[in-house]
Amino acid sequence: MKNLIILGSTGSIGVNALRVVEEMGGAFRVLGLSAYSNVELLQNQVRKFKPEVVSVFDPAASRDFKRRVNAAVRHLEPGVEGLCEMVSRKDVDVVLLSLVGGVGFAPFLAALKSGKTVALANKEPMVMAGAQFMIEARRWGARILPVDSEPSAVFQCLETRPVPKGGLRDYGALIGRVFLTASGGAFYRYRGDLSRVSVRQALAHPTWKMGRKITIDCATLMNKGFETIEIMNLFGLALGQIRIVIHPQSIMHSAVEFKDGSILAQMGHPDMKLPIQYALTWPDRARRVVEPLDFESAPSLTFAPPDFQRFPCLGLAFEAARAGGSMPAVLSAADEVAVSAFVDGRIRFTDIPRVVERTMKRHRSTSGLASFAEVVEVDGWAREKAAELVEQL
């Protein structure tokens, strides 16, 4: 039995993870859960899984939750303090990090410094400072296992031997190319004016059911840019080794071409329970919790190159990857602000890349590896600058 902490248990990944826990019987003991503000769902989760500790990020929601569930569970401090305390517990085996945006930065670092295995669905910290996090994983004997479907697919294609403590191996010398697939998001087949699309349209993902932030990032293709930077850091890849492929059926989750020309692909129905389960049960594979793929009834698989002109966020992510240093942190922060502004109805869909690009242009990236302190400082600056640019649109 593994002791499990889930940060972000009321989000899409967290809810699916608890379904995996439930379907697998006694394989996991849920020690801790956290939510941002959805105290009603968290209350139901606490009743069902009986964790020892909980943390509610929003202070007002935290007070509300204490009134609802007082003596049944230990309440940690709101904000990042409670999250960091939770992941640092000595009895924790696996931390599922499924928070949204840069809020996962500090608890991710705390989990690594505690030598934990981190099942990572919160990709923004790996975008902001992925190389630095890999160094910390090696320093503290921690492991980082990707949960997002496509990075997990790359991991499953590559990892035939045990992952050493200290993160994943450097696979750059073994790989010719990685084919990182993308569904294309809500607007892959949309031929109308993207400046006029609504939030509701952008959230109508054709194959996956996910949180609002990642769904909007899928619609702009920024999510695929984030995953590009993430797997560069996780697997020691160069930008030129990664090819983005639009694959609307979301059956082939990614593929790896080795130096000898052989290609391995990971396939399955678009169901997040599979990569979640693999990250939680690794290095073993457990009884399946998803429906098997039937090739005879599966749809025809199609592949196409992405349209960088229509979806400029992907090109901006590549630009940040090439610049390195602190520029990926600017990319992540500006996107978070811009997406929030779009969801709130303050800017148009096509303004998201404008805000990101203008914020990036106003930043002079540090040369070489930025320190964590520099990354945090740059993140704050980029959020302020992006917010100013939103007001100017």
Q: What is the dihedral of CA 313, 325, 130, 336, to 10 degrees?
A: -40
Domain assignment present for 229 = no
How many Cβ atoms from other residues are within 10 Å of residue 47's Cβ? Answer: 11
* Owning domain of residue 145: 2-158
At 325, the pLDDT band (50, 70, 90 cuts) reads: very high
- pLDDT value at residue 255: 97
- pLDDT value at residue 168: 63
Contacts made by residues 102-111, CB under 8 angstroms, sequence distance 24+: 102/128, 102/332, 102/333, 102/336, 102/379, 103/57, 104/7, 105/129, 105/375, 105/376, 105/379, 106/80, 107/7, 107/80, 107/83, 108/133, 109/133, 109/136, 109/372, 110/83, 110/84, 111/87, 111/142
- pLDDT value at residue 160: 59
Domain assignment present for 66 = yes
Answer whether residue 164 shows pLDDT above 70: no
Which residue type occupies 276? I
d(CA 93, CA 206): 35
Q: Residue 119's beta-bridge partner residues?
A: 96, 145
pLDDT in tens, 196-234: 999 999 999 988 888 899 999 999 999 999 999 999 999
Query: And the tokens for 169?
Result: 């191996």
Domain assignment present for 149 = yes
d(CA 170, CA 328): 21
- pLDDT value at residue 84: 97
Q: How many domains does the chain have?
A: 1
Express as a percent the part of the chain with pLDDT over 70. Answer: 97
- pLDDT value at residue 64: 94
Domain assignment present for 114 = yes
Domain assignment present for 389 = no
At 162, the pLDDT band (50, 70, 90 cuts) reads: low
- pLDDT value at residue 208: 83
Asked if residue 326 lies in contact with residue 210, where contact means CB atoms within 8 angstroms, the answer is: no
pLDDT in tens, 104-132: 999 999 999 999 999 999 999 999 999 99
Answer whether residue 161 shows pLDDT above 60: no
Domain assignment present for 33 = yes
Q: What is the chain's mean pLDDT, rounded?
A: 94
pLDDT in tens, 235-284: 999 999 999 999 999 999 999 999 999 999 999 999 999 999 999 999 88
- pLDDT value at residue 57: 96
Query: And the tokens for 109?
Result: 């670092």
Domain assignment present for 355 = no
* DSSP per-residue letters across 21-51: HHHTGGGEEEEEEEESS-HHHHHHHHHHH--
- pLDDT value at residue 214: 93
pLDDT in tens, 4-27: 999 999 999 999 999 999 999 889
pLDDT in tens, 283-312: 889 998 999 999 988 889 999 999 999 999
d(CA 32, CA 74): 9
Q: What is the pTM of this model?
A: 0.94
Collapse the DSSP code of 282 into the 3-class scheme (helix H, G, I; strand E, B; otherwise coil) and give the result.
coil
Domain assignment present for 75 = yes
Burial class for 373, CB neighbours closer than 10 Å (0-12, 13-18, 19+) = exposed
Mean pLDDT for the stretch of residues 54-78:
92
Asked if residue 305 lies in contact with residue 356, where contact means CB atoms within 8 angstroms, the answer is: no
CATH code for position 58: 3.40.50.720
Query: And the tokens for 205?
Result: 């993902």
- Residue that is written with structure tokens 């992540």 in the block: 332
